Amino acid sequence: LMQAIKQATMPTDSPLLQLDPDMSARDAQLVSTQKGRKLRCLGDLLVLSDSQLKSVFGPLHADPSTVERWCEGTRALPLLDVSVTPGFTMDGGSSKPQKPTSLNGLEPLTQYSITITLSHAPYKTLFKAPRMIKEVGQAYTPRFGKVQYEGWWAVLAQDTELLAVKRISMQGKSESTGVWANNGEVRVEGSKNAKKAESRTAKLMFITPETQGAYVLKLLVMSDAYLGLDQEYDVNITVGENQMTLSADASVISKEKLAEYQ
């Protein structure tokens, strides 16, 4: 609902209408149903090169300035990278937090955490940013009357049970230390002279199941400003005896899911 409000559209409308206030429902339908192209989701447009974008929009509109606006609107949307690594826990009877090397062989009924890192993948583009984008973390909401900011809800669940939820704001500048904490748990990482902060990091806490075995947790990363850019990943854990190996340095997100989004 918040996505639809900020974009001044209905939840059932095409996400392509976010690209330009003058884009019609028919324009959006023509883009998504072009012969020879399969646009499964809005993310398919975000990974195209400048020339590929022009080849998508160009045949549908004779006015070059309109095609330019559609391309600029596409580049204004965030190409979000998501990574997940094991966080700290208080298991093992230690008074100090311990960081497991994987999400394998976890203790039953024990509190663990995962670290979620969101970052904007850089675009290689010659298109200019829309004039309405004036500050770090501002969302592209051309139909909304006030400035809005980009945020994401990180939701961790197991089947129908909600384990953890946290909102991650992409607004804010990093300090000279390179790390700024706006609530003690959500961090902004980057450099003082960076044009925009490189990433946001948050921690999600969860309690492991009582029964030993392998489990698949669902991580949902949901935008509060954009339609059609939500992402879903599998986070695999095992409780009890080791059944698989996951490096703490590697993302525990399903590589197939990541490849599907990209």
pLDDT attached to residue 91:
55
* CB burial string 230-245: b at 16+ within 10 A, e below: bbebebbbbbbeeeee
pLDDT attached to residue 251:
45
pLDDT attached to residue 1:
84
179 and 188 in contact (C-beta within 8 Å)? yes
Contacts 24+ apart (CB under 8 A), 35-41: 41/15, 41/228
Q: What is the pTM of this model?
A: 0.77
Instruction: Tell me the residue length of the chain.
Output: 262
Residue 222 φ/ψ region, left for φ over 0, alpha for ψ in the -120 to 50 degree band, beta for the rest: beta
Distance spanning both ends of the chain, measured CA to CA:
25
pLDDT attached to residue 95:
55
pLDDT attached to residue 122:
82
70 and 23 in contact (C-beta within 8 Å)? yes
pLDDT tens over the chain, length 262 residues:
889 999 988 888 999 999 999 998 898 888 888 766 767 788 889 999 999 999 999 888 778 899 999 999 999 999 999 999 998 776 555 556 676 668 998 999 989 999 999 998 888 888 888 888 888 788 999 988 889 999 999 999 999 999 999 999 988 653 322 332 333 344 444 434 334 446 899 999 999 999 999 999 999 999 999 999 999 999 999 998 654 443 334 444 444 544 454 4
pLDDT attached to residue 40:
74
- Amino acid identity, residue 228? G
239 and 208 in contact (C-beta within 8 Å)? yes
pLDDT attached to residue 190:
45
* CB burial string 154-193: b at 16+ within 10 A, e below: bbbebeeeebbebebbbbbebeeeeebeeeeebbbbbeee
pLDDT attached to residue 97:
65
pLDDT attached to residue 99:
67
221's tokens: 């990363």
Distance of alpha carbon 165 from its chain centroid, rounded? 14
DSSP the chain: -HHHHHHTS-TTS-GGGGG-TT--HHHHHHHHT-TT----STHHHHTS-HHHHHHHHGGG-S-HHHHHHHHHHHHHS--EEEEEEE--B--TT-SS-B--SSSSSBPTT-EEEEEEEEEEPPP---PPPPTT--STTB---TTSSS--B-EEEEEEEETTEEEEEEEEE------TTSEEESSSS-EEE--TT-SS--EEEEEEEEE--SS-EEEEEEEEEEESS-SS--EEEEEEEEESS------TTS--B-HHHHHHH-
The torsion angles phi and psi of 45, rounded to 5 degrees, stand at -75, -35
pLDDT attached to residue 101:
67
